[in-house]
């Protein structure tokens, strides 16, 4: 099975805004970025499409597949709870520092920890590789792709924060049921 993890295209939000599961519109460059990403996706006729439930991911999956993608909550971005849509500078400094000191296990107020995200992403991955699909295309978020790579490559999640996952990029993972291979990361 070949799994293609697509990061959604560029979003129309300032870099200083905290967002995860908040609905954020795609940038005006969507059509060009989606077209470029589509060139890197395999033959659509043999692929099964999954998507995070956020519109920015659904749009990319449906642009490429030309049909509705199956949404799966396990592919959602981190839930930043009460921090969603706030500017980073507006977040309580002590709360932010506590999270920065332990980003994997510290739960964001009214949100979730990265550990919770990792567990649901791992559950999705272990579930999907038991299916009899040839090709799976997954439209999701950088945090989800990092979590998959952390799991597959057995890297501590803290070390994956340095992995740049570009908007509209593709990460390919293959499995034959016995072994898992990361074919490439962040292809644009």
The CA distance from 136 to 142, in Å, is 17
The CA distance from 104 to 99, in Å, is 8
- On the question of pLDDT at 126 being above 90, the answer is yes
**117 in any annotated domain:** yes
Mean of the pLDDT values across residues 165-188? 95
Mean of the pLDDT values across residues 68-90? 96
Mean pLDDT over the full length of the chain: 94
**39 in any annotated domain:** no
- On the question of pLDDT at 162 being above 90, the answer is no
- On the question of pLDDT at 42 being above 90, the answer is no
**35 in any annotated domain:** no
Mean of the pLDDT values across residues 97-121? 95
**10 in any annotated domain:** yes
Which CATH number belongs to the domain containing residue 61 in this structure?
Answer: 3.40.50.1240
**147 in any annotated domain:** yes
**92 in any annotated domain:** yes
């Amino acid at each position: 099975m070949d799994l293609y993890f697509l990061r959604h295209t560029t979003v129309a939000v300032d870099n200083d805004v905290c967002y995860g599961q908040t609905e954020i519109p795609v940038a005006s460059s969507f059509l060009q970025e989606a077209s470029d990403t589509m060139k890197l996706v395999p033959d659509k006729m043999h692929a099964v499409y999954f998507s995070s439930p956020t519109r920015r991911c659904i749009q990319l999956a449906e642009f490429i597949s030309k049909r509705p993608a199956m949404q799966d909550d396990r592919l959602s971005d981190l839930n930043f709870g009460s921090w969603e849509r706030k500017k980073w500078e507006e977040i309580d400094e002590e709360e932010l520092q506590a999270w920065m000191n332990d980003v994997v296990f510290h739960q964001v107020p009214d949100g979730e920890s990265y550990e919770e995200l990792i567990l649901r992403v791992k559950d999705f991955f272990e579930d999907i590789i038991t299916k009899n699909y040839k090709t799976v295309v997954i439209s999701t978020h950088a945090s989800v792709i990092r979590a998959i790579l952390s799991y597959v490559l057995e890297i501590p999640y803290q070390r994956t924060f340095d992995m740049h996952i570009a908007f509209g990029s593709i990460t390919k993972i293959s499995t034959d049921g016995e072994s898992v291979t990361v074919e490439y990361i962040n292809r644009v």
